[in-house]
Structure 1
Amino acid sequence: MPHLPTPTVADAYRGPDYAKRDRKGAGGDDLVTAVCRLFPREKAEKLFKTPTANLANNGSAQHPDKRKAGGHGPTLEDEVCFLLNVDPDAELPDDGPHSPAEWWGEFAKAVYRWECIRGTAAPVPIVRGPRGGLKLAPKFAEWLMGLEPGWVTDVPGLTHKEQLGRIGNGVVPQQAYHAFKWLMEHEAFTEEESADG
């Protein structure tokens, strides 16, 4: 069995470099690339952008290609308004914890997986604005961030803009829980190790 390359600090900050071993003097694969070669997997499904607080101040959505042509990355609102096949007046079917797969296009696998984890269907991701244009639905951003339905969107007196501002840049509770759990277990292990040694 071949040995894996020695880990380096840089391994924490980069992905695989499949061309490295073919470059003269490069010395072969780094650890990240070697592991990726040993355990290949299908390309990860397409994920939505993370809701950010500036969604509340961005103005209207633009097609992602137009946003990129202007030198900027697309926002979550750009993606849901232009890349999805869903009507803002659509309703969720009553037959289970999944929204219609045809709504999500290339995001369908990621949405399905999050629906399974959450145990609840994704809400309609867009709403009509006051002038009839499409906008990101705060209920969808809330769902995407792993918040309970209504955690932000049922707070009395918050406007669409204020809801998105509060949801954006928030913490996904499920991730925070696992991070704290890991820290507590790590601290307990470290304390046991100190007591033994």
Structure 2
Amino acid sequence: MARLFPRDRADKLFKTPTANLGSNGSAQHPDKRKAGGHGPTLEDEVVFLLNVTPEDELPDDGPHSPAEWWNEFAPAVYRWECIRGTAAPVPVVRGPRGGVKLSPEFAEWLMGLEPGWVTSVPGLSHREKLERIGNGVVPHQAFYAFRELKTQLDEVQKSGVLDA
């Protein structure tokens, strides 16, 4: 698959991790979840729509994960890898009974957190890691929001509206 430049549009994005990922039950095919009147979760997408297994490994030859892992999400993953400057980790892990589950390391990477920010906290279970990541803030979005608010506040202060 041909790689895209980071500025190219990514039409298919992953769902955002949510706090209930760890307690949502096992993943379901997104079509089944939609048929039940619900939207798919990040875990549904990762487990059922990607071409990767827990046994796959990142190659040592560069800052990008294999494009063939990501199917229609490849442009978005490639763009985020370029922005982050790091390859996406393997997005799935093997569960205790042999099933495939969302990797907390992938959710952490997807949220823009430094590796280990949540996943290296001692004593957290798989479920607790996903809950903490899902309750978190994407630092890039928070920075943008604060920058925009500061710009607006500066404009208001220059206009003298707050001097009354």
The two structures have a TM-score, normalised by structure 1, of 0.75
Matched, 1:116 2:82: yes
1:50 alignment partner in structure 2: 16
RMSD: 1.7
Instruction: Measure the CA separation in 1 of the matches of 2:55 and 2:39.
Output: 28
Name the CA shift for 1:44/1:111 in 2 (closer, same or farther; >3 Å): closer
Structure 2 residue 33 is the aligned partner of structure 1 residue 100: no
Give structure 1 stretches of 5+ with no counterpart. Answer: 1-41
**Separation (CA, whole Å) in 2 of partners of 1:83 and 1:124:** 14
- d(CA) in 2 for partners of 1:48, 1:194: 43
Partner SS for 1:184: helix
Alpha-carbon separation, structure 1, partners of 2:136 and 2:17:
8
Ranges in structure 2 where 5+ consecutive residues have no aligned partner? 1-7
Q: Which residue of 1 aligns with 2:92?
A: 126
Match of 1:179 in 2: 145
Change (3 A) 1:43 1:157: closer
Shift of 1:44: 4.9
Equivalent of 1:81, from 32, 40, 47?
47
* Counterpart residue identity of residue 187, structure 1: L
Q: How many residues align?
A: 155
Contact conserved, 2:9 with 2:75, CA < 8 A, in 1?
no
Please point out which of 56, 73, 81 is paired with 1:90: 56
Partner in structure 1 of residue 5 of structure 2:
none
SS of residue in 2 equivalent to 1:135: strand
What is the rounded CA distance, in whole Å, between the counterparts of 1:102 and 1:169 in structure 2? 30
- The list of structure 1 runs, each at least 4 consecutive aligned residues, that deviate by more than 4 angstroms after superposition, is none
| Larger RCO of the pair (alpha carbons < 8 Å, separation 6+) | 2
2:62 partner amino acid = G
